[in-house]
Structure formats: structure tokens, C-alpha cells
Structure 1
Amino acid sequence: MTIIPNNNNNNKEQDRFLPIANVGRIMKKVIPGNGKISKDAKETVQECVSEFISFVTGEASDKCQREKRKTINGDDIIWAIIILGFEDYILPLKQYLIKYRELEGEKLNVPKQNQPQQPDQKPTFSYNSVYSPTGLLPQTSFVPTDQSFPSPFSPNSIQSQLPKQEHVDSMGHW
């Protein structure tokens, strides 16, 4: 008797994660050109950002259900991020949302025959692919490359909280 492993559970697990290629591409943007990112690091970040998205959208969804609405909008996401304690992200997100709405408003005010001939870039939200980045962000996203976002901690603050390397045994225990 041959037992074939059930990949259905693994596929369902992967469906709740952002595509790892997209995660890796974003990670590469913030490291030196000759830097390398391990598969384990990509998978860890993939899991963390997917969980963060689920956490925030779940809170926004609960708000919409309480208000008897069926559609989550950008304001609901910003509200959820504030409620969950991620205030440091609010300023850049609000700026992005304002710019996005300005661009979408321009599209609505220009007659269709005068708009450039491009495939429709309006984001669509698919229930099958909730975490698809193309479903959440327009292709013409507004993120200036020279913009830096404030960090809520200094790069050394985390390192100073970790025990010194000399106290780590061969098993990696402190």
C-alpha cells in the first residue's frame, strides 16, 4: 500500500501567505546590492507580514460587521492599525491613501476616451487571494524611493537587550 502525502493542507497553509518571491523582492530593496537573504529569513518574514495583514484586516472586518457594512476600506484599515497600537505607521499610510485617492479621483474626472490606453489598474479584491499584493495596491503605487520612514527604535536598541554571545551554549541557549 502506497500512502500519498496530502498536499492539500500545505496548499491551504500557503494560500494564507504572501507570495515568497514578492517578499524576497521587497527585502532585497533594503539591503546592499551584494547582500544575500536566506530562504529561512524570507519564510520568516513571509509568515510575519502575512500574520500582520490578517491581524489588521480581521480587526477592520470586525468593525465593518458591527457597522453592518460589507466592504473594508482604507479608513477601516487605518482605524484598525491605530486600535492595535501601530501608530508609528499611520502617517505614511495616510499620505499614501490620500495620494491614491487623488489619483483615482483624476481617473474618474477624465473622460474614458481621453485616458491613456492601459489595462485597468484599479485594484480588485478577490476572496480567493486575499493576500495578493496586486489586489491590495495599484500598479502605479506612490512610494517615493528617497523617502525614509521613522523607526520607533534605534538599530542598537534591540541588540542591547540581547545577552552577550559568550553566554550562548552550543545548543543556542542563553
Structure 2
Amino acid sequence: MAEKMEDLNLPQSAVLKIIKEAIPSNASIGKDVKAALAKAASIFILYLTSQSTQTMQAAKRKTITSQDIYDALEELEFGHFVEPLKNCLKEQQEGKAKKTADKTKLKTADQPENEEEEMEDEEEADEGEEKDS
């Protein structure tokens, strides 16, 4: 656990980015608001984690799962966040899967499709070297 409560604060830049997405473009916020929202978000995370831990321990597990988070949100009367959170996590997982698939496609595109093609490429390279000599 963190030694000081200040160690648990979220980065101000991340909090500011979230705030800017939530307010109109012509609105501004005070420095104290950034700090207050960062602290509130940290406390909410601790609160939700604590409740999730209780759910996890009741199930005799050592790992908090996303279902524990959903259950904790319901228990803490934040059930209206469950579906948007599930959708967000689904989009994130789909994005990761797409990136992985794209990386795999790039790797396979750089490699010859079969050994015969690779051997032909090597033979052509050898012939080219012989002609240069």
C-alpha cells in the first residue's frame, strides 16, 4: 500500500484530459477543481476496489475480476455504470485484438509464403552476384 495519501493521486494530466472531454470547449476550470476531481477519482477507485476485494474474498479467489467490479458497482448503487463500462471494455479488447492481428499480418507479409519461394529468392540473389563478378 502507498505510504502517503498523496501517492494515490491520479496524474493531473490524465484527469485534465478527462475533464476537457466532459466540459464545453469554451469553459475553463480552476486549478483547485483539477486537484479536487483527481482526489475524488482516487477515492472512488479505492472505494470500488475495496468493495471488489470483498466480493473476491467471498468467492475465495485471489484475483479481482471484471465481474467483481460490476458487482461492486451494483452494490454501491452505481449500477447505471455497468453497461457503459462493459461496452468500453469490449471496445478496448476489440482494439487490442485488431492491433495484434495487424502486427501478425505485417510479420507474415514480410516472410515468403513457402520454402520454394524463399529458395527461388536465394537462387536469384546468387545469380545476380555471379553476374556482377
Q: TM-score range by the shorter chain?
A: 0.5 to 0.7
Moved over 6 A (4+): none
1:33 corresponds, among 11, 25, 29, to 25
- Mean alpha-carbon deviation: is it higher for 99-108 or for 87-96? 99-108
1:87 Cα deviation from its structure 2 partner: 1.5
- Please provide the CA RMSD for this pair: 2.7
Q: Which residue of 1 aligns with 2:65?
A: 73
Structure 2, unaligned runs of 5 or more? 108-133
Q: How does 1:154-173 map to 2 (within 5 A)?
A: none
Cα gap change, 1:76 to 1:104, in 2 (>3 Å): farther
Does 2:52 match 1:60? yes
Percent identity of paired positions between Structure 1 and Structure 2: 34
**Partner residue of 1:49?**
41
Call closer, same or farther: CA 1:25–1:104 in 2, change over 3 Å: closer
How many residue pairs were aligned?
A: 106
Residue 89 of structure 1 and its aligned partner are, at CA, apart by 1.1
* Larger relative contact order (CA 8 Å, sep ≥ 6): 1
Aligned to 1:127: none
**Secondary structure, aligned partner of 1:29:** helix
Are the equivalent residues in 2 in contact too, given 1:60–1:77 (CA < 8 A)?
Answer: yes
Give the gaps of 5 or more residues in structure 1.
1-8, 117-174
Tell me the TM-score normalized by structure 1. Answer: 0.51
CA separation in 1, counterparts of 2:87 and 2:40?
24
Seen in structure 2, the aligned counterparts of structure 1 residues 97 and 113 have a Cα distance that, compared at 3 Å, is closer
How far apart, CA to CA, are the structure 2 residues paired with 1:69 and 1:104? 27
| C-alpha distance in 2 between matches for 1:87 and 1:115 | 42
Which residue of the partner structure matches residue 9 of structure 2? 17
2:105 is matched with 114
**What's the TM-score, normalizing by structure 2?**
0.65
1:107 deviation in Å? 6.5
C-alpha separation in 2, matches of 1:71 and 1:115? 35
Q: Which protein has the bigger helix share?
A: 2
Q: Does 1:95 align with 2:87?
A: yes
Q: Distance in 2 between matches of 1:87 and 1:67?
A: 20
